[in-house]
């Protein structure tokens, strides 16, 4: 991995450009966000991006404070509502400002009490998986603006970052675990059909979910490969620096794992 210093520099620049391009999306009104959640007890943020109150903030700390959910509300909220609350968190895309997805997620977890509460729920993985199953990468309106297409693409990365967390994977049943791997394969193959919308970062996030799930399952052949593939181990740890070879490896290992599960 001697090439890492150069790649790290280039990747940091790439992430900076992503942040520059996508962070403005948080200023879309909630009505414009193509997430299509069903009505739930999700938190209705009192100050939203694009409003005069939001524009009046003078720094990031004021935004963070305004987005915290009252603890009494969090404690009473259903996990389904909490999933929606987290995925519509106005500052969720702050993770893009960091070198790696995992580093960025760790940062927003410390900043937002809704994420911390969700990660503590035993059924968080179940509810996230339910939501993930409803998402179709091909469901892009022909009349959508490039901004809306970009936001829709980011919605997959946002939920996949959550699904790749160890605390989420640990609480999935074996059936749910297998369903997640199947869904990850469905998503990545569908994304590959629309390269103008889903870039390499979106491929990485789907592959990250699949790879982390295979590792969580301690799939023997995959674990053996990890021991000798430092680049793959780095990708699983960070969610970044996926190369073509390791992408193909993950996409070949996942069906093998599922086939073995069907045979048992």
Q: What angle do CA 114, 116, 120 make, to 5 degrees?
A: 115
Confidence band of 141 (pLDDT split at 50, 70, 90) = very high
Section 104-127 average pLDDT: 98
CA 46/CA 67 separation, integer angstroms? 8
Confidence band of 37 (pLDDT split at 50, 70, 90) = low
- Per the structure block, which two tokens stand in for 156? 């997959």
CA 257/CA 182 separation, integer angstroms? 10
State the pLDDT at residue 264. 72
Q: Is the pLDDT of residue 19 over 70?
A: no
DSSP code at position 41 = S
Please answer whether residues 108 and 94 qualify as being in contact, where contact means their C-beta atoms are separated by less than 8 angstroms.
Answer: yes
Q: Is the pLDDT of residue 43 over 60?
A: yes
Round the average pLDDT of the chain to a whole number and report it: 89
Exposed, middle or buried: residue 128 (CB in 10 Å: 0-12, 13-18, 19+)? buried
CA 194/CA 189 separation, integer angstroms? 9
Please answer whether residues 186 and 225 qualify as being in contact, where contact means their C-beta atoms are separated by less than 8 angstroms.
Answer: no
Confidence band of 38 (pLDDT split at 50, 70, 90) = low
State the pLDDT at residue 21. 46
Section 210-226 average pLDDT: 97
CA 205/CA 202 separation, integer angstroms? 5
Closest to 222 (Cα-Cα) out of 251, 199, 194: 251
* pTM of this structure: 0.86
Q: Is the pLDDT of residue 24 over 50?
A: no
Closest to 163 (Cα-Cα) out of 198, 109, 124, 117: 124
pLDDT in tens, 153-206: 999 999 999 999 999 999 999 999 999 999 999 999 999 999 999 999 999 999
Q: Which of 2-6, 72-76, 260-264 has the lowest mean pLDDT?
A: 2-6
């Amino acid at each position: 991995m001697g090439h890492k210093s150069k790649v790290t520099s280039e990747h940091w620049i790439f992430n900076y450009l992503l942040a520059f391009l996508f962070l403005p999306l948080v200023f879309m009104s909630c009505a414009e966000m193509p997430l299509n959640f069903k009505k739930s007890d999700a938190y209705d943020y009192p100050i939203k991006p694009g409003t005069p109150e939001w524009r009046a903030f003078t720094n990031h700390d004021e935004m963070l404070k305004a987005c915290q959910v009252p603890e009494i509300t969090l404690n009473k909220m259903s996990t389904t509502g909490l999933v929606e609350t987290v995925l519509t968190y106005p500052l969720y895309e702050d993770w893009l400002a960091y070198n790696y997805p995992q580093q960025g997620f760790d940062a927003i977890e410390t900043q937002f009490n809704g994420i911390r509460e969700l990660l503590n729920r035993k059924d968080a993985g179940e509810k996230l998986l339910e939501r993930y199953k409803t998402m179709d990468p091909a469901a892009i309106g022909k009349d959508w603006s490039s901004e809306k297409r970009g936001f829709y693409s980011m919605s997959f990365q946002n939920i996949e970052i959550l699904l790749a967390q160890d605390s989420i994977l640990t609480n999935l049943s074996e059936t749910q675990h297998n369903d997640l791997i199947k869904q990850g394969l469905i998503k990545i193959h569908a994304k590959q059909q629309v390269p103008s919308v889903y870039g390499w970062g979106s491929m990485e996030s789907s592959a990250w979910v699949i790879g982390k799930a295979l590792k969580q399952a301690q799939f023997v052949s995959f674990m053996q490969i990890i021991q000798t593939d430092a680049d793959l181990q780095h990708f699983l740890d960070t969610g970044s620096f996926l190369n073509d070879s390791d992408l193909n490896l993950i996409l070949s290992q996942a069906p093998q794992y599922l086939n073995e599960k069907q045979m048992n």
